[in-house]
Structure 1
């Protein structure tokens, strides 16, 4: 069974208004009506057009079609979700735009079977549709991931209006940020997704975590990385210096003879977990400026006492 793009069949965009849908149907119905059309495939086109109009003219059918059809393209092999179902309601049904030969397998798979008679003598299906799940990305502070927090977030959530059109609605939610959550992990908010149909339950909302850029830290999984500025004498002679971590300032011992880029580990100072992450500190040697004659003399003395070619490995 192939997916049918009813909007494409009628030459419409997905945000078409009810009036635009009606005008498009009337225009194409005159063109392809088998009694007057000279097109070779007029009858098939007319049936296909009637089926598309049957769905798009009805807000509930259109909303259900839009919900199940996200990401599909015309002609792709299609199978409805295992729990798919839809309730037209007692006063809904098929308006009879289709003529001869019935609806396609695609239409029947979505809306056919299990019908009950409505007021106009047509039939509607007595089933429910679970609302689809939704996903969104949110950015949080590293500190909130370290300690855990409750964060107030605002999301632009797509929803169906009364005419079956997709609109954007701003929702504000209090979200509990679990202690130790990593970038890429998801928080599930049960029942906060798309609403169901015919008494079906709401879908869930999944929030994927991203970290806001931090002034000092960078996260990789539960590990935290920091570039730490040190003086030449701290690197050369060794020293114990204060280092910021997500849990506060700690003392770090720098071995004598350390070079720029040397990486030191603070075990368990990353994001909490089982096990907790570590904090990796990369040394960045900061050279003081020679602003005075005395400072220049010291540098000149260093060049005489400790001559070296840092580019020797490059052959220059």
Structure 2
């Protein structure tokens, strides 16, 4: 029988722990999986990796494999006498038998194996939530591809869609646990969990800072100079905001409790950031008014330059 060094295939020594075996397998499977690897021999390498993992991850299979002892890769060896008796043949008939086939046949002929149940893996995924849903609560559908393993231990990805309930006042970075929606369990074990990590989706008007919101507030020069009452959008609907005369560009106007709800029942604030807008095109009449203003006004916007220019 040809010897395959499963430890060497996974890059491990014989004292490797089960965690070492799992870590090595995940790393190599990611490199050589046919759906990922560009290596022309990737599929062949992946099959060897999966075969090695299927043996070394199982306590009893690994013990049986270790009974063979250490040999060089591809070297012919004769199975132990107990194995020959169990296989019900003689040593010479093993010449063309693949070691993985031998394991399968040997185990199927009377040797029972107690497979220990293993819980499936937990996974975390980022979930982008519309600001409106954060504000009022609601449900969203989330699609995610999760790895699954077939009867040979080979990973495959399958898409799942889950409906997630977002409570009013959910926060950026909050983790929502979907029990039993993670990786499949092994040998009758419980499935893992899926954790949705909430992120607030970019909004065309509002910027988010915790539970506070910021919105740019465009004003005309005369609104900023003379004052005005204007309508401003908030997540809960439009409200009227009074602009006092002499409002400056960049000034922040606070609208109390017009931001996002908090988990404790409080509400953040909304800040309107003033942006004074100048018309790009003006009529002859408007130009005359601006010229008249320039001759009449004593306003000096650059007084802070005076000391530097002297």
What TM-score, normalized by structure 1, do the two folds share?
A: 0.66
Tell me the alpha carbon deviations over residues 55-87 of structure 1, each in whole angstroms, 9 at most, x when there is no partner.
42x3xx68xx5xxxxxxxxxxxxxxxxxxxx7x
Q: How far off is 1:209 after superposition?
A: 1.4
Task: Say if 2:187 is the partner of 1:169.
Answer: no
Q: How far off is 1:134 after superposition?
A: 0.7
Tell me what 2:69 maps to.
100
CA contact (8 A) 1:7 1:14 kept: no
Tell me the alpha carbon deviations over residues 18-69 of structure 1, each in whole angstroms, 9 at most, x when there is no partner.
9835986xxxxxxxxxxxxxxxxxxxxxxxxxxx88742x3xx68xx5xxxx
Tell me what 1:255 maps to.
244
Alignment of 1:168-247 (within 5 A): 168-247=157-236
Tell me what 1:299 maps to.
290
CA contact (8 A) 1:240 1:253 kept: yes
Task: Say if 2:235 is the partner of 1:267.
Answer: no
Q: State how many pairs are aligned.
A: 245
CA contact (8 A) 1:268 1:276 kept: yes
Cα distance change of structure 1 residues 135 and 297 upon mapping to structure 2, 3 Å threshold: same
Tell me what 2:33 maps to.
15
Tell me the alpha carbon deviations over residues 151-205 of structure 1, each in whole angstroms, 9 at most, x when there is no partner.
1222122222343233221111111111121221122111111111222211111
Task: Provide the secondary structure at the position in 2 that maps to 1:97.
Answer: helix
Question: Any stretches of 5+ residues in structure 1 without a counterpart?
Answer: 25-51, 66-85, 102-116
CA contact (8 A) 1:236 1:256 kept: yes
Task: Provide the secondary structure at the position in 1 that maps to 2:290.
Answer: helix
CA contact (8 A) 1:132 1:193 kept: yes
Q: How far off is 1:265 after superposition?
A: 1.1
Cα distance change of structure 1 residues 96 and 21 upon mapping to structure 2, 3 Å threshold: farther
Question: Any stretches of 5+ residues in structure 2 without a counterpart?
Answer: 1-14, 35-40, 71-105
User: Greater helix percent: which structure?
Assistant: 2
Cα distance change of structure 1 residues 209 and 11 upon mapping to structure 2, 3 Å threshold: closer
Counterpart Cα distance in 2 of 1:289 and 1:139: 37
Tell me what 1:45 maps to.
none
Counterpart Cα distance in 2 of 1:181 and 1:9: 35
**Please, which of 159, 162, 165 is the counterpart of residue 148 of structure 2?**
159
